[in-house]
A and B are shown apart, each in its own frame.
Chain A
Amino acid sequence: MKKILIITLMVLCAFLLQSSVFSYLEFAGIIPNIMIILTASFGFMRGEKTGLLVGFFCGLLSDIFFGPVIGLYSLIYMYIGFLNGLFSRLFYPHDIKLPLVLISFSDLLYSFTCYFIFFVLRSRFAFEYYFLHIILPELFYTILVTLVLYPVILFINNRLDPKEVKGSDIDFV
């Protein structure tokens, strides 16, 4: 119960950070995607189920406030959370390489999906422009924020259930 409460709180924080705080910290009009960081992290840290649930609710929040229809962003975030969950067996808490790679790929996947759904389907094909001006800057900024935010998420996750982490340590030794 406590876990659910804390994770819910983190989802809310991520949404608020992204929609309110980071609009003051934008570089060249680009904001990082905090909710992808959270969704992907919970995916590979806690497995498919947590990943897809966190993704679903992150997406639902952006749907309610910014989506053209309710359910579209939920679907995208949910699948990203689920896919990251598939990597939870490879996850080792003290290694930051896998999280970075996974979060980067998640953000790319998210951007490409958005580009496809919102732009290609309306026959706006200038892929090069969108890639260089939206997708790539967002990716770099997200990676940068990940470096700061990921240790915090990891710390909170470890505090959620300390026993499990010890167990996984022994598995690797």
Chain B
Amino acid sequence: MSDTTQDGQVLTTQDGKPLKAALAKALRREKLRALMLIAPLLIFVLITFVAPIVDMLFRSVENGIVSETLPETVVALREWDPASGEAPDEAVFVALYNDMVIAVAEKTHTRLGSRLNYEQSGISSLFRKTGRRIKRMDEGGPFKDQFLSADKKWGDVATWQVLQQFSPSYTDGYFLNAFDAKRGAEGIELKPADERIYMFLFGRTLFLSIVITVSCLLLGYPIAFLLAALPLRTSNLLMILVLLPFWTSLLVRTSAWKVLLQQQGVINDFLVWANIISDSGRLVMINNQTGTIIAMTHILLPFMILPLYSVMKTISPTYVRAAKSLGANDWTAFWRVYFPQSVPGIGAGAVLVFILSIGYYITPELVGGTSGIFISNRIAYHISSSLNWGLAASLGTLLLVAVLVLFVVYDKIVGIDNVKLG
């Protein structure tokens, strides 16, 4: 579009202003009004959603604690070269003493200890022990010997290396950790095999989420199809059954699964009674991946059925009739005419179920045993138990990125406008 007429003249209003400018001015008021209308929600979303996420992203790199707690030591330590193979000299210990006196007074030294303990075991007690001794140290020095007698770990190169490595205010340490990597002598390297866990859990989380999504689809599609075809009264009744899992408490539901699925449970008892399996060959269906898949499929099924149902409800039965009148048999009519129109529902349901399941942790924790737990279980552990929030934040960030990447891929393959909730 151009704002000139064919002979090159700029279109103007009656009083000679450019038409575009006049239009923009007229629309500006409208836009402002629209902005005012959404402002409350916008502010709400910013405060309750965007801000916590940004905070989380920030936590995954934030590392101000070392330089805040030991400001002089950090500066003094810059000169030290770990390759020398020896602990720093007296000057650094003087700085450490000055910093520690303040830190102990403010009781921040133990906090720093637990922070650095994530990087190397033993630093927690080192700071705790040193904190107790600091009051008894001779203010006149020399400090190196006094610190070494408080704890001989102050003589270890490794201790100082950690301090030096994590003295900047920002760190990639949490992210390296989340990638099962660490900063070794020759740059970034993978952790030893017996400590690698997160990448494996990410893979398992994605895999199980896909399995759960697919089983939700396989189970949910026929139900949604039936619901959409039935008269409203019957379908409402059946819908209550579909929604029943929502109304049951998590504990009741989990207990029910245990009663059904455990080795001495109802299903195994029945199979043994029916001579399908032997008493010694009872199936393990809970406390493993199977348990997670079954329980999560059950819980998330409504999230698949509801969007499918609402999309199918809008597909007029005349389409199938038309297809049949045109010569298509039942299957062709379904596959070529009905199914493509239900794809937006599948898309919405699949995205919903997948995203919900990728972040689920309570159910896997309860019925997943060790082979059915997700990355979210480790995130929850680091949030509530180990208090390593930085690592939890970086794992959460990776999860967020993984979801966004999948979303983009999904958009490329299926098209995001092909998602309909009703």
The answer to whether A and B come from one shared complex is: no
Residues of A within 8 A of B (CB): none
